[in-house]
Structure 1
Amino acid sequence: MSFVRQTLALPLTIATTFLQNPALAEERVGSTPLDDISVTATRVEKTLETVPAAVGIVQQEEVQFAEPQLGLDESLSKVPGIFMQNRYNFAQDLRVSIRGFGARSAFGIRGIKVIVDGIPETLPDGQANVDSIDIGSIGNMQVIRGPVSALYGNASGGALLIESEEPPETPFISLRPTFGEDGLQKHQLKFGGKADRFDYLLNFSNLTYDGYREQSGTELSALNSKFGFDLDGGARFSTVLNYTDSPKADDPGGLTEALVDEDPTQAWSRNLSLDSGEKLEQTRLGFVYDRPLGDSGELRVRNYYVSRDLANRLPIGATGHGILLDRFAVGGGAQYTHTAPLSGHANRLTLGVDLDRQEDERKRFLLAGEELGTKIQDQDEQVDSIGLYIQNEYSFSERVELTLGGRYDRLDFDVEDNFLSNGDDSGDVSFSRFSPSLGLRFTPRPGLNLYANISRSFESPTAVELRDPDGAGFNQELDPQVATNYEIGVKGRLGSKARYDLALFTMDVSDELVPFEIDDIEFYENAGESRRNGLEAQLVFEPVEHLIATLAYTYSDFEFDEFIDDSGNDFSGKTIPGVPENLLSADFTYTHPNGVYGQFTALYVDEIYANNANTVTNDAYTVADLRLGYTRFFGPWELSPFIGVNNMFDKEYNGNVRINAFGGRYFEPAPDRDVYAGLTLRYDFEG
């Protein structure tokens, strides 16, 4: 408890000082979830209520609200249809699933298109990582729930679009240290502003964390920067530069149920003895050019470059395996939007092309203690993708709008084997698909919008998932999964104090990609068919002045219709593992004009099946968090101490479930109750 007393002392002392000086009071400013909101997730700007699809948004004030800023799930949990695990295993990265897509991923994000400041974080093969996303400078996060291949290509579940915060008119600089239990230390330095036609935002952060479990520590430093230039003729040129250096991200591994009961803080013995984990360094550079063309046209051109070096130690085989990955990705795209009446009615046409390339130099070794030993794999992998898309929005009247869209994608995978002592396993495989979409919105009265849509998507295996269990090279038997989504929904407002969103969907999936493990190595196979039925609901309202409540509920009935695996096991009729049937979140945020603010969140997660046979389950749990803070302005200075308690009722639960894990090691325990505290100190350069 000495740590807790020390952690609380500074913020509480500062808060008490300011509470005794009401002359320093000034109302916090910023938008709220009940303000009118515009979204761009569907590639064109529309109000949240008029998009004929399930779209959610989390704004800057919600993302940076006294959070420890360890993972995107801290604020995204209030969006229905999205389920997140694995915040505390930094080697495996946050696991995000939308409508169940992405739940199978052993690491990173699958089935979801991730785009940051207009630049794709998702690679051409469909894999994304969020370890390089700077939470401390996020302006908003938009989530499309449901197939988005007609808009973004290779993704079944949806899209996550992240925008950095906009620099204010007045230049500023801010410091944000945070300290917590389990060795948590995070420091941020942020500054930005505008000068004539130029604007800028830079955020430096450094994280060290010992972790709740053995072998779960991490060290990560990051720079996120965004620069904008307003040009003549209404044009704008933006540059984004992100650099991430993580020399340590340990992996404690999964545990059996018996080991969890024995000691949830322990690591799997093999992970501990082999020092499992990863080191990475990544640089992402992107350029975006926007320009109006005449009175009715808009052009956007983008270009990006990504360099990622990864070293991984895996508890595979007798000695363990070491992987060295040198990745380079490059891509670009162009989009043209034409807005002009058609037959006397409003019409907007969007055309675009995306071109991307991913080059991986992958080497695998047997481990020899702390060093790399005998080389057992050396291959170069290349993935090329091209996507052509079109979307048209036609308004029959102010109350009825029809949206038609389609996209053609082609992906080419090529592997060149440089390790020929065991034969040449070079090869290639290609996938191509056309993904159509149809949406209809009907607005019977202001504040009430009904919609329906039908869409089809595809999701290819990644280069890693194409690994052949019978040898090196690509698995030629593995096909992309294809999903057809049927959805109806209603969204709108109840006066100025409430906003609601309800979606019902059914989805047919063929050739679903499912994982299985052989000797701790994960491989993939196609299931025959699966069916997903679901309901997603969100209500945002203001029950009393200054208090915003957000309730989100997700019901998921996902099962295999037809699935017999390569070993002859029949899983037809079984529930798809990794997704809870019921998911409920409640968020209550209070912000008083005198500067006091607080937030209470609760999340209920139903039981989760851990394997295809549905013989192993992860128990249901409810976890609650509390955050309190106080903001005061005096002249150009702003001071905001805050304190938070995660898992405030000290619930024992697993923060991650490894699907179909080898050896029954399905579970990764989450931390018990922990306290953190910090403060934000900001100075505005007025005049």
Structure 2
Amino acid sequence: MLAFSNLIYFSMKLTLWIFILLLPIVTHGQNQLAVVDKLTKKPIPGVVVKIQGQSNQISDSSGEISLNIINPTLLVFSHISYESLSILVQPDENLSVELVPALSSLNEVVVVGFESERSLVHQAGSISKIFEHELYRFNENSVLSAFNTKPGIRVEERAPGSYRVSIRGSSLRSPFGVRNVKVYWNDIPFTSPDGTTALNILDLSNIQNTEIIKGPAGSIYGAGNGGVISLESRKTVSENCFSSDLGIGDFGLLRYRLGIDQKIEKGGINASYVHQKSDGYREHNALDRKVFQLALHANPSEKQSLSTQILYSDLFYQIPGALNQAQVDEDRTQARPGSVAQNSSIAQKTLYGTFSHKIDLGEKWNNSTAVYVNTTDFENPFILDYKKETAFSYGGRSKFSYKDTWGKIPVQIVAGGEYQYGKTLAQNFGNRQGQADTIRFSDDLVTTQAFLFQQIEIEWTQKVLMTLGLSQNFGRYDINRTVDASRNDPSSNSKVFDPNIIPRLALVYKINNSSGVHGSISSGFSPPTIAEVRTNEGSINLDLEAERGVNYELGYRGTFGILNIDVAAFYFKLDQTITTFTNPEGVVLFRNAGQTDQKGLEVNLDYALFRSQSTLVQEVKLNHAFTGHYFRFSDFESGGNDFSGNQLTGVSPNILVNLLDIKTKLGFYFNVTHQFVDRIPLNDANTVFQDPYNLVGGRFGWRNTVGSKWDFEAYGGVDNLLDEDYSLGNDLNAFANRFFQPAPGINWYGGVKVGFRY
């Protein structure tokens, strides 16, 4: 009996030890996750967690989720009020997962602005931010539609691939291309040293987020009265992913993209190739663009980050040319006579390499430095001539930031500089049926632009923030004419812009955490580009002076529950305004036009009518953007005509944009856009106008994640649903009344996207 009792005791003891030894195996894979708001740290109930091989889980009222994970598994967290997040979770790992709010209020939008990273609601200036999802609510063939939803900003497309950008009416001196606006790409100067910007070499996929400063920003970004566009591509790689897109549309539109993201330790590599082509709406209106981007991101330490990128773009597009009213009435799709025979077009190959480095130099100091090198081959057969250019440029930007508290007053100081050098061999030939003929003139062009900037921000109280900025600008053009077929001797010409000091003073009054009033006084200085000094018929206009002006601005931003409001009023007094005119041969020339008075009001309202995680329709949002630009010549006489008091050429006084966005639980979405553009004066005399028009378009689609590895989207859309007759990118002060560049009527587009995480 005793032996039997001992046997039972031994068996129970053995069972207990086996249970203890097997306990880790039995409990292996238990995970406790807590999902919280990244800003408030409060728990988020109702978060959907997608798990490969298992059914979806939902966080409880405390934001907690219990999972049984045996192997490393990628989890996808989604909630209508937050940005989606993917995390690789290990067995037995307990995590606190932080989700970023889906920017439903202005105080959640953080912008860099004037080199000051803070919430938009407390920024001292007019700044618009365009997020990645806003770029993709339209046809994905250009940035035009998304940019045009913001007040004060206007992008025109004279032909597919031929952009003209206007910020607060700055396109008056831009018959084509992007001028009087400074553009940066990943904090690196993207505007050439000569003042022009080839924005059309970028595909939509090369941009993730965009910040646009409206009005003079010379205290930090150098010369330019229009403003600053800061483009940013994806800078981090969070997971391994392969993606592909295919888009089609009217007029032979075909666009496809292949991309890959590869995470490597503390950094990663991403690469993409995009090919877009179309036949165009008009005769001689085709586009063919290929863009390859390769980027490497690394974090050598917690205090440093490195990034290097290579961008190669091969762009070709045909130029149909402007029509007069009789030609538009006859056939709005025809090309200007001579455009086809002379093969009027642009072929441009660009290689752009960048390197940037950021480092924390202790608790108070940090430095950001970026350099670039760029080469471009450019050919432009036109009706009147044939232009060839080979350009090389390099440059960089470096800034130091210092943050400290002086007594009880927080202070931030930013100081740095920017330098750009460009050299171009520019040759103009005759055009014989689309082929380069006898050389007319050849120039070696050297351009140097540089400036130093300093800025101090002082928070005098918890509610009052002051910003004082200053820059010193230097510029020089050298035009060495080596060949002149008009029997003039070779010559050397220089245009030097003496150091110009550009100040800016701004104040912000923080009413509370979600609203604030801002005001500023800023100086503007914009020298003519070398393309304005050296024109296509061979003249060199060294008498063309830089534009100078002062901008006064007052604005308010605030969030009231579901409603966000952003209002700004400004008055810009501009001297030596540069305008265009066309000679009898059709060559665009430039002149200073005295003074202009530019008064404006810009308003943006957005609000969520409905938002719920649990219902079929999860979100309904509305947005309204109004631009009131009441710009006039205050003192302008030309050719014996007095244009004083006339509306500023090329500027619509009133533009209204309305947006409606609907999202559903099943992944279906619907976007509607309406845009009203008031009539636009097309010449300085205000005798010819573009009629007002209304554009209505929509995009609908389905977007969802299948399992935890596959992302799918299918979409379709229509533009110009009302089939309006309008011109998007009129020629200003055109000779022979060739003002109009007709835009397409009603047209459709569609596409599919596939992503795979591995």
Work out whether the TM-score is over 0.5.
Answer: yes
**Residue of structure 2 in register with 1:603 after alignment:** 675
Instruction: Summarize the Cα distance change of 1:397–1:27 in structure 2 as closer, same or farther, 3 Å threshold.
Output: closer
User: Which deviates more, 614-623 or 650-659?
Assistant: 650-659
SS in 1 for 2:650: coil
Q: Which has the higher contact order (CA 8 A, sep 6+)?
A: 1
Q: Distance in 1 between matches of 2:750 and 2:642?
A: 51
**Residue of structure 2 in register with 1:511 after alignment:** 576
**Residue of structure 1 in register with 2:479 after alignment:** 415
**Counterparts in 2 of 1:158-307, with a 5 A limit?**
158-246=227-315, 248-307=316-375
SS in 2 for 1:384: strand
Q: Does 1:559 align with 2:632?
A: yes
What do residues 17-42 of structure 1 show as CA deviations (whole Å, max 9, x unaligned)?
xxxxxx99986755644251111131
**Residue of structure 2 in register with 1:84 after alignment:** 155
Task: Please tell me whether the aligned partners of residues 415 and 428 of structure 1 are also in contact (alpha carbons under 8 angstroms).
Answer: yes
SS in 1 for 2:178: coil
SS in 2 for 1:410: strand
Paired letter, 1:577: T
Match of 2:517 among 434, 438, 450: 450
**Residue of structure 2 in register with 1:38 after alignment:** 110
Q: Distance in 1 between matches of 2:660 and 2:118?
A: 27
Paired letter, 2:312: Y
**Counterparts in 2 of 1:386-405, with a 5 A limit?**
386-405=450-469
Post-superposition offset of 1:168: 4.3
**Residue of structure 1 in register with 2:566 after alignment:** 501
What do residues 462-519 of structure 1 show as CA deviations (whole Å, max 9, x unaligned)?
11100269x8463121100012000000002112x22210000001000001111111
The structure that has the greater radius of gyration is 2
Match of 2:747 among 674, 678, 687: 674
Q: Does 1:589 align with 2:661?
A: yes
Post-superposition offset of 1:108: 1.1
Q: Distance in 1 between matches of 2:147 and 2:379?
A: 30
Instruction: Summarize the Cα distance change of 1:103–1:506 in structure 2 as closer, same or farther, 3 Å threshold.
Output: same
SS in 2 for 1:273: coil
Task: Please tell me whether the aligned partners of residues 172 and 580 of structure 2 are also in contact (alpha carbons under 8 angstroms).
Answer: no
Number of aligned pairs? 652
User: Which deviates more, 503-512 or 658-667?
Assistant: 658-667
Paired letter, 1:539: L
Q: Distance in 1 between matches of 2:302 and 2:248?
A: 48
What do residues 323-372 of structure 1 show as CA deviations (whole Å, max 9, x unaligned)?
00111110012100000012320000000111111111100000122321
TM-score of the superposed pair, with normalisation by structure 2: 0.84
Post-superposition offset of 1:424: 2.3
- Unpaired runs of 5+ in structure 1? 1-22
**Residue of structure 2 in register with 1:430 after alignment:** 496
Task: Please tell me whether the aligned partners of residues 674 and 696 of structure 2 are also in contact (alpha carbons under 8 angstroms).
Answer: yes
Q: Distance in 2 between matches of 1:417 and 1:380?
A: 6
Q: Distance in 2 between matches of 1:404 and 1:110?
A: 27
Task: Please tell me whether the aligned partners of residues 126 and 568 of structure 2 are also in contact (alpha carbons under 8 angstroms).
Answer: yes
User: Which deviates more, 199-208 or 481-490?
Assistant: 199-208
Post-superposition offset of 1:233: 4.7
Task: Please tell me whether the aligned partners of residues 237 and 270 of structure 2 are also in contact (alpha carbons under 8 angstroms).
Answer: no
Instruction: Summarize the Cα distance change of 1:468–1:265 in structure 2 as closer, same or farther, 3 Å threshold.
Output: closer
**Residue of structure 1 in register with 2:139 after alignment:** 68
User: Which deviates more, 192-201 or 269-278?
Assistant: 192-201
Task: Please tell me whether the aligned partners of residues 341 and 433 of structure 2 are also in contact (alpha carbons under 8 angstroms).
Answer: no
SS in 2 for 1:670: coil
**Residue of structure 1 in register with 2:25 after alignment:** none
Cα RMSD for the two superposed structures: 1.7
Task: Please tell me whether the aligned partners of residues 71 and 87 of structure 1 are also in contact (alpha carbons under 8 angstroms).
Answer: no
What do residues 222-251 of structure 1 show as CA deviations (whole Å, max 9, x unaligned)?
0123221101251111112111012x3100
User: Which deviates more, 543-552 or 433-442?
Assistant: 543-552
Task: Please tell me whether the aligned partners of residues 235 and 297 of structure 2 are also in contact (alpha carbons under 8 angstroms).
Answer: no
- Unpaired runs of 5+ in structure 2? 1-54, 58-77, 85-100, 612-618
Q: Identical aligned pairs, as a percentage?
A: 25
Q: Does 1:647 align with 2:720?
A: yes
SS in 2 for 1:86: strand
Task: Please tell me whether the aligned partners of residues 191 and 201 of structure 1 are also in contact (alpha carbons under 8 angstroms).
Answer: yes
Q: Distance in 2 between matches of 1:208 and 1:340?
A: 52
Paired letter, 2:214: R
Q: Does 1:441 align with 2:511?
A: no
Q: Does 1:480 align with 2:546?
A: yes
Q: Does 1:629 align with 2:629?
A: no
Post-superposition offset of 1:125: 2.5
SS in 1 for 2:340: helix
Post-superposition offset of 1:661: 1.2
**Counterparts in 2 of 1:132-143, with a 5 A limit?**
132-143=201-212
Q: Distance in 2 between matches of 1:615 and 1:216?
A: 29
Q: Distance in 1 between matches of 2:566 and 2:701?
A: 30
SS in 1 for 2:332: coil
Q: Does 1:537 align with 2:610?
A: no
What do residues 375-433 of structure 1 show as CA deviations (whole Å, max 9, x unaligned)?
00111111101100001100011110000001010101001111044222320011131
Match of 1:331 among 374, 395, 404: 395
Q: Does 1:459 align with 2:529?
A: no
SS in 2 for 1:131: helix
Post-superposition offset of 1:165: 2.5
Post-superposition offset of 1:553: 0.3
What do residues 29-72 of structure 1 show as CA deviations (whole Å, max 9, x unaligned)?
5564425111113122111111110101011111123x332221
Match of 1:550 among 617, 623, 634: 623
Q: Distance in 2 between matches of 1:590 and 1:24?
A: 24
SS in 1 for 2:387: strand
What do residues 171-213 of structure 1 show as CA deviations (whole Å, max 9, x unaligned)?
1111100011100000011221422112222221001100000
Q: Distance in 2 between matches of 1:273 and 1:369?
A: 5
Q: Distance in 2 between matches of 1:413 and 1:117?
A: 27
User: Which deviates more, 517-526 or 99-108?
Assistant: 99-108
User: Which deviates more, 619-628 or 472-481?
Assistant: 472-481
Q: Distance in 2 between matches of 1:652 and 1:158?
A: 31
Post-superposition offset of 1:590: 1.5
Task: Please tell me whether the aligned partners of residues 429 and 474 of structure 1 are also in contact (alpha carbons under 8 angstroms).
Answer: no
SS in 2 for 1:655: coil
TM-score of the superposed pair, with normalisation by structure 1: 0.92
